[in-house]
Structure 1
Amino acid sequence: MSMPLIELCEVSRRYDDGPPALHEVSLTVRPGEAVAILGPSGSGKSTLLNLIAGLDRPDTGTVTVDGARIDQLGETGAALHRRTRIGMVFQFFHLLDDLTVTDNVALPARLAGLPRGETERRAAELLERLGIDRHARTHPDRLSGGERQRVAVARALMNRPALLLADEPTGALDTAAGQDVSRLLTELNAEGQTVVLVTHDLALARSCTSRTIRIADGRITHDQPSRAVAPEAVR
């Protein structure tokens, strides 16, 4: 059996004097899995994603991603790990409207110092693969929501990450565009990409992941195949 790509051991995180956002959470995700994290607002799912990404640190416990102890990295080390090993997709795209689609997609590689020729070839390959190569010279503010999310996914894949994290990737899209992104995530996972998806959308979780984790009050309450998730998971 392969080594875990993500391993959290008894992780807790508290903000200010409130109740724990996460309380003694342990979780393992193996390479090639597609996992959805479900829960209502305030359940701790975004905190969990931030800890996996190295955007936040646990108060107690350990976080290991792709062989690195994320909880022990400084800000610079965590940023470098995200840049090279983790791709991130957000609800509101976070594209730069003053750059072309190609330049947005190529940005992570340029920040990583890859040669310009290699960067341009990789960006063109991703735009063609995701069906948006005709928009290569367009600026993102001229695209539809679904097209912008495809650009964001291409950018996330630019440095060939071991892990793709998606935070409510269809939350700002209409139904048709949301289904398009769902199919894209399914295809990427079928090709071997490990995906961890945070969402409140049970239909999205069922359509593009094979495992769902339900969080409530900072604790994992269910961890099971997607088709078996109860509707109350997203209330």
Structure 2
Amino acid sequence: MTAPVIELCDVSRRYDEGPPALRDVSLTVRAGEAVSVLGPSGSGKSTLLNLIAGLDRPDSGTVTVDGVRVDGLGEAAAARHRRDRIGMVFQFFNLLDDLTVADNVVLPAQLAGMGRGEAARRATELLEVLGVDRHAGAFPGRLSGGERQRVAVARALMNRPALLLADEPTGALDSASGEDVGRLLADLNADGQTIVVVTHDLALARSCTTRTIRLVDGGITADTGAVESAR
């Protein structure tokens, strides 16, 4: 059996005086899995992602990612772990408009101390694989939404992360571009990349994941190997 990439044990998180955003959540995701996290707005999806990424800390319980207790890391150590071991893809791409496509992709490697030549070769390889190498010298604003998301995926994969987190990756795309991104994520998983996708998009979940976590009111209500309904 493959080793866990994500292990959450009895994790709870509450903000202010309201109900818990997450309550007693335990979850294991093993290397090579592709998991979608579904649920209505306010169900705890974003909180779960932020805890896995080390962007937030639980009030109780433990969060281990790629063998590291991220809930015990300080901000600087959490940022390094995120940079080195977790790739993140967002709804609105988060590309830097004043950098070229190639420079956006290279940036995580530069921050990690990778040599310039090695980083350039890695970026070129990723852009070719993802079909956007012809845009390497362009600025993100000249690209379509689907192309920008491919560049964002290339950037997320730059440091060969153990885990790829995608937060509503098709939310800002038209249906054709969304299908394209779904196929891309499925291909990455077929090559062994562990992926967790937080989404409202049932079609995306069906196209690129084989396991579904359903959150309602901060708790896991279903954990299935087949995608059912997003509602």
Q: TM-score, normalised by structure 2?
A: 0.99
Which whole-Å deviations, capped at 9, do the CAs of 1:122-181 have from their partners, x for residues lacking one?
A: 000000000000000000000000000000000000000000000000000000000000
Distance 1:204 1:121 in 2: 31
Matches within 5 A, 1:48-67: 48-67=48-67
- Quote the Cα distance in structure 2 between the aligned partners of 1:113 and 1:30: 28
Letter in 2 for 1:68: V
**How much has 1:202 moved relative to structure 2?**
1.2
Can you list the C-alpha shifts for 1:89-148, whole angstroms capped at 9, x where unaligned?
A: 000000001000000000000011111000100000000000000000000000000000
- Structure 1 residue 199 corresponds to structure 2 residue 199: yes
1:96 and 1:50 map into 2 onto residues whose CA distance is 22
Contact 1:34 1:209 (8 Å CA) reproduced: yes
Sequence identity of aligned pairs in percent? 77
Q: Which amino acid aligns with 2:184?
A: L
Q: Hey, what does 1:172 align to over in structure 2?
A: 172
Alignment RMSD: 0.6
> Structure 2 CA distance, aligned partners of 1:81 and 1:57?
14
Deviation at residue 203 of structure 1 after TM alignment = 1.3
| In 2: Cα distance, 1:162 partner to 1:180 partner | 23
C-alpha distance after superposition, 1:197-222 (max 9, x if no partner): 00011111111100000000000000
Aligned to 1:109: 109
Tell me if 1:158 matches 2:169. no
Residue 22 of structure 1 corresponds to 22
Per-residue deviation, 1:225: 1.2
Give yes or no for contact 1:44–1:216 (8 Å, CA) kept in 2: yes
Deviation of 1:226 after TM superposition, in Å, equals 2.4
Aligned with 2:221: secondary structure? strand
Matches for 1:1-235 after TM superposition, within 5 Å: 1-227=1-227, 229=228, 231=229, 234-235=230-231
Gaps (5+ residues) in structure 2?
Answer: none
Q: Tell whether the 8 Å contact from 1:205 to 1:226 is kept in structure 2 after alignment.
A: no
Q: CA deviation at 1:87?
A: 0.1
